[in-house]
Amino acid sequence: MGLVKADGKPAATSKPSPRKYTRDLTGLLAELNDQQPKARRWAARDLVAYGEEAVGALCERLRTEPEPSVREALFDALLAIGGDAVVEGLIPLLRGEDAGLRNGAVEVLGQLPEAVGPRMEVLLADPNPDVRLFGLDILRDLPHPEAPRWLMGVLEQDPHVNVVTVALDRLAEVGTPEMTPAVRAVKDRFPDEPFVAFAVDTALDRILGGE
């Protein structure tokens, strides 16, 4: 008893369950619906190797997957694959009922600037303000040169107070001095809303560095 070393003993085997499935696309797609969460996690991870071919099945599984650890593996796999098919598969989740799925999709989309970029203007013009808010969440860390221009568009045109104040919140972090007239002008669009005044003042203070 006490401190022991497992020298000589081989490390535990990598795949925990006996191989019920072949490790090709057909086998992995079947394993994605296995009873065991562990098996589904491994299927998601291994499906990354199949790229776009696996995207449809991974997105489909997300809609019904109850287990958080498998959900994360599915999102991670989609992020690793990336590209247009992933973005097309994830955007519909933003309209879903499940807040966990919506926010998971936002996080992945926010890291796929090239594929998300061309769809940003459509998202920010969606008739549903909640979808526009998700657009702003995606934009938050999106390393894309157009990001400030999109934010300014929301600031100047979006009719919904919550969408505009979230744009102000983002500009408090990334805004530049030439944006200040547009930031100031928001107060006039929502004169009776104390939170708007507060958000404008906060953004101005941060953008101008308090000088």
Q: Where does this chain bind another protein (CB under 8 A)? A: 1-7, 11-14, 16, 41, 45, 68-69, 72-73, 76, 79, 97, 99-100, 102-103, 106-107, 111, 129-130, 133-134, 137, 143, 161-162, 165-166, 168-169, 172-174, 176-177, 193-196, 198-199, 202-203, 205-206, 208-211
Inter-residue contact 51 to 37 (CB < 8 Å): no
Q: For the CB of residue 53, give the shortest distance to another protein in the complex, in Å.
A: 20
DSSP letters along 38-92, please?
HHHHHHHHHHGGGTHHHHHHHHHHHHH---HHHHHHHHHHHHHH-SHHHHHHHGG
Smallest gap from residue 88 Cβ to another protein (A):
21
Least Cβ distance, residue 199 to another protein (angstroms): 5
Query: Residue 152 in contact with residue 178, Cβ under 8 Å?
Result: no
Please say which residue, 60 or 169, places its beta carbon nearer to another protein: 169
Contact 69, 41 (CB under 8 A): yes
Q: Least distance in Å: CB of 60 to another protein?
A: 21
Smaller CB distance to another protein: residue 6 or 26? Answer: 6
- From CA 48, how far away is CA 12, in angstroms rounded? 24
Name which of 84 and 107 has its Cβ closer to another protein.
107
Shortest approach of another protein to residue 184 CB, angstroms?
16
Contact between 183 and 169 under an 8 Å Cβ cutoff? The reply is no
Residue 183: count other Cβ atoms within 10 Å of its Cβ.
23
